[in-house]
Amino acid sequence: MSDWDFLYEMNARGCSAAEISDAAACGYAPWDLIDEDEYEDADEPISQQKKKPIKQKQPEIYSQSFNTFKYSIQDATELLDHFDSINSNPPPSNAEILKRASLIMALAALETYIEDRVTEAANKISSSNNKNSKLQIFFTKSLQNDLKTFHTPSADRIKSLFEKYFDIDVTSGWVWNHFDQNKAKSELNKIAKKRGDIAHRSLRPQPGQPMPHAVTRDELAKHIRFICNLVNATEKFLSDKL
C-alpha cells in the first residue's frame, strides 16, 4: 500500500483530518504535501465533508537535524510495521520484542534530534560572532560536556538545555491539536520513563508468568505519533526563535 493509499484508507475508516495529518507527520506521506485544512468542516461526518483537492504547499526550510530525524524515526515505524506483519493469532512468542525495540528507537531518534538541534544552533551563533574566539571555545566545550550526560530526553532536561544556551523555553512551543504545553511535557515524561523501564529492567515476559505488555500496539503507535508531532512543534518554534 502506498503512502497516499494508506491516508485515503484512514479517511475511508472515518479518521479525522487531524488524525490523518498526524499520520503524515510520522512519515506515512510527504510532509510538505499534507494540508491540515484538507476538509472544509472537520466537525461534520466524514461522509458529508467536501474533500478539497490536495494543494502543493510552499517548501519550508528545515534544519539538518530535522531532516535526520525524519530518516531515523523510520527505524521505529518499520519495527512496528514488522510487528503487524507477524502478529498472527496467536502471535509468535518473540513478537513483543519488536514493540519494545520500536519504542527505544523512537526515543533515540528524539534524543538525537535534540542533541543535533542544539549543536546546530550553537554553531550558527558561534560562526556569526568572531569577536571573541576564547568565548566561542568555552561555549562550544561547555555544550559538548553537557551533551555527554544528556541521555534521557525528558521535558525538564530539554527545557534546561535550551534555557542555558539560548535563554528560551522551548517547551512553550509544544502546542498542537489537542496538546498544550503541560500536557505535552507530561506525556513526554511518561514515554521517557517507559523507555527507561524497558531499557534497564528488560520487562521481557517470563515463561509461565503472565504479565501486562510493556507497551501495547496501540500505545506504541500513539507514542511514535506524539514524538513526531513534538519534533515538528519544536522545529517550528526554533525556526522563529533562533
User: Residues 117, 122, 127, CA angle at the centre, nearest 5°?
Assistant: 130
Domain end position, chosen among 42, 59, 76: 59
Domain end position, chosen among 41, 59, 77: 59
- Total domain count, the chain: 2
Both 111 and 16 in a single domain? no
Both 133 and 221 in a single domain? yes
Both 82 and 17 in a single domain? no
Instruction: Determine the pLDDT at residue 32.
Output: 41
* Burial profile 43-54: b = 16 or more Cβ within 10 angstroms, e = fewer: eeeeeebeeeee
Both 123 and 14 in a single domain? no
Residue 147 one-letter amino acid: L
Residue 188 one-letter amino acid: L
The mean pLDDT values, 10 residues at a time, for the chain of 242 residues are 56 63 57 40 48 50 93 96 86 84 96 97 82 82 94 95 96 96 98 85 58 80 97 95 86
Domain end position, chosen among 36, 59, 82: 59
CA distances 57 to 36, 37, 39, 83, 226, Å, are 11, 12, 16, 34, 23
User: Residues 77, 82, 86, CA angle at the centre, nearest 5°?
Assistant: 150
Instruction: Determine the pLDDT at residue 90.
Output: 75
Q: Which residues are paired to 51 by β-bridges? A: 39
Both 54 and 151 in a single domain? no
Question: Which domain, by its residues, includes 99?
Answer: 62-241
Give per-residue pLDDT as tens, 57-96. Answer: 544 678 999 999 999 999 999 999 999 998 877 778 788 8
Instruction: Determine the pLDDT at residue 137.
Output: 86
Instruction: Say what the pTM is.
Output: 0.74
Instruction: Determine the pLDDT at residue 80.
Output: 94
Cα 154 from Cα 134, distance rounded (Å): 32
Both 45 and 71 in a single domain? no
Instruction: Determine the pLDDT at residue 30.
Output: 42
Instruction: Determine the pLDDT at residue 194.
Output: 92
